Amino acid sequence: MPVLGERFYQMSNAIFCYDLKPIPLAVYSYLVCCAGQKDVCWPSMKTIALHCGCSENAARDAVSLLVDRGFISKVKTSRCVKSGKWLQGNNHYYILPLPDLPSAGHSA
């Protein structure tokens, strides 16, 4: 697996108050790491799954949960190839301010 470099990233300790399961927490952490200070990144689903140690379907489910719960927003992109055909590009993931803390009993 490629190394991301010897950089560091910060994530709020409050993330542990949201009762995220391991895969959504790993995916969120990876996206925060990729985004850095720009709060946006565009890794492929395959790359997310590889770095989070899960299947692409599990990564996709985690991204959906993170979008639904307001941790990230996802923007679909497309690109034009030489033939003039449009292909789906990597989604862009925007890291949002942490949502309000959930009430007791909410889990993901």
Contacts 24+ apart (CB under 8 A), 86-92: 89/42, 90/42, 90/43, 90/44, 91/42, 91/45, 91/63, 92/40, 92/41, 92/42
pTM across the whole model: 0.84
Residue 4 has pLDDT above 90, yes or no: no
What digits encode the pLDDT tens for the residues 44-57?
999 999 999 999 99
Q: Which two tokens stand for residue 97?
A: 């301010």
Which pLDDT belongs to residue 87?
85
* Domain at 18-95: CATH code: 1.10.10.10
In the chain, domain spans? 18-95
What digits encode the pLDDT tens for the residues 53-75?
999 999 999 999 999 999 999 99
